[in-house]
Amino acid sequence: MQAFTVTTDIALPREQVFEYLADIANHAEFTDHYLVDWHLTREDSHGLGAGARFRVKAPLNRFAWADMTLAELEAPVRLVERGRGGKFNRVRMIGTYTLAELDAGSTRVQYSFETDAKVLSDVIGESLGGRAWTKRKAKRSLRRLRAILEQGRMRGQRPTVAAR
């Protein structure tokens, strides 16, 4: 999937936004309208190497499970999450949060997302609406992130470590 970027401004200091995003368990709160059934891949959900597995609620999605891991943290500027999804987890995904400090303690959050689909059926699925659907959902998730951080609302139940 060709990369796309969505942006929002949050009226909080960059460090505070970074700390919230550096805990992957918090991602379930603002993405639960399209990413559900979250399970952590380790007990510590904060920092480098923290990961989660979840189900993508996309239309006509037969292979809905995916996972993401916090692969790069450059406090308080950038977080990179890498993962896989789709059939046999063959579609690589990269999501990048870039935080820019604005005036008076505000933060601009920019989220970029791309996939690397190699198999023709995966490429066709992405080109027939998959990219547009994902971009709409990502845009909404940033609006929800802003609401959670600025107003302290929508605090849901945190994901737990999956049973063995």
Q: Residue 15 sits in a domain of what CATH number?
A: 3.30.530.20
Digit-by-digit pLDDT tens for the chain (164 residues) are: 688 999 999 999 999 999 999 999 999 999 989 999 999 999 999 999 999 999 999 877 778 899 999 999 999 999 999 999 888 888 899 999 999 999 878 999 999 999 887 777 666 666 666 778 889 999 999 999 999 999 877 666 678 787 65
Residue 152 near residue 43 (C-beta atoms within 8 A): no
Give the number of other CB atoms < 10 A from CB of residue 3: 11
Going by C-alpha positions, the residue among 27, 118, 21, 137 that lies closest to residue 77 is: 21
Count the domains in the chain. Answer: 1
- Angle between helices 14-21 and 131-151 in degrees, nearest 10: 120
What is the SS3 assignment for the chain?
A: CCCEEEEEEECCCHHHHHHHHCEHHHHHHHHCCCEEEEEECCCCCECCCCEEEEEECCCCCCCCEEEEEEEEEECCCEEEEEEEECHHHCEEEEEEEEEEECHHHCEEEEEEEEEECCCHHHHHHHHHHHHHHHHHHHHHHHHHHHHHHHHCCCCCCCCEECCC
Structural domain span for residue 150: 4-161
Q: How confident is the model at residue 132, as a pLDDT? A: 86
- The whole-model pTM stands at 0.89
Residue 143 near residue 8 (C-beta atoms within 8 A): yes
- Provide the residue type at 66 as one letter: A
CA separation, residue 104 to residues 8, 13, 20, 84 (Å)? 16, 8, 19, 38
Q: Please state, in angstroms and rounded to a whole number, the distance separating the CA atoms of residues 59 and 57.
A: 7
Q: How confident is the model at residue 123, as a pLDDT? A: 64
